[in-house]
Amino acid sequence: MSDPISIIQTARQEGRKSLSEYESKQFLASFGIPVCKEVLVRDAAKAAIEAEKMGFPVVLKASGAKLTHKTEAGAVVINLKSAEEVKKEGERLLSIEGCEALSIQEMVPGARELVCGLTRDPHFGPAVMFGLGGIFTEILKDTVFRIAPLEERDAYEMMDEIRARKILDPFRGEQAADRDILAKTLIAVGEIGLKYEEVAEIDINPLKIRPDGKPVAVDALIILT
């Protein structure tokens, strides 16, 4: 696992204002935040090999410091079920401007998507955000905020304050969301904001809930000051 300071230093030396998705997840994982399985490679043939090791289906993404909006750029392909598909799509993704590598990720099951993040209030400092994620984040705007640092009580209150809080209960055959892990994730995001002034924003979206209730960060972006 990469050291958070070295990740930031590398980005700074390269004149970047954000971390790549892979770097962002490595950064978050160092604070105990659960992230999905992910391997980064430089060519399509290796992507196919790594996908077979990981097990199908997989998600394939173009990776690059400037690719902060991958979906809009057509740089994300889900539900790939064979090495041939991975190799073909990998070659296409490598042709996208700004693509520096290919990210092979597990296809995380589960119907529920949350969002978790960090912003910096000019008066109060780092604020942790939690709410309904995926495509509904901007549409429904069902999010709540707390100023860091967070205690366990704060994290649990945030979960109860979103309008769609029932999504954390047992849902269509899936177990209730693990609130303990969610609370630790929210607390950890606040800790990052307090410890690293270089981190301007964190966007974990979606934070997906597996059928067994365990949350996992499927996509993440860290913006630097």
Distance separating alpha carbons of residues 215 and 33, to the nearest angstrom: 9
pLDDT digits (tens, 9 = 90+) for 98-146: 899 999 999 999 999 999 999 999 999 999 999 999 877 878 889 999 9
pLDDT digits (tens, 9 = 90+) for 180-193: 999 999 999 999 99
Q: Is the pLDDT of residue 92 over 80?
A: yes
Q: Is the pLDDT of residue 1 over 70?
A: no
Q: Percent of the chain at pLDDT above 70? A: 98
The mean per-residue pLDDT over the stretch 169-197 comes to 97
Sign (positive or negative) of CA dihedral 18, 23, 24, 28: negative
pTM for this structure?
Answer: 0.93
C-alpha torsion 206→210→215→217, nearest 10: -40
Q: What is the pLDDT of residue 79?
A: 96
Distance separating alpha carbons of residues 162 and 143, to the nearest angstrom: 6
Domains of the chain: 38-106 (3.30.1490.20), 110-224 (3.30.470.20)
The mean per-residue pLDDT over the stretch 69-76 comes to 77
Q: What is the DSSP letter of 105?
A: E
Q: What is the DSSP letter of 177?
A: P
Distance separating alpha carbons of residues 169 and 171, to the nearest angstrom: 6
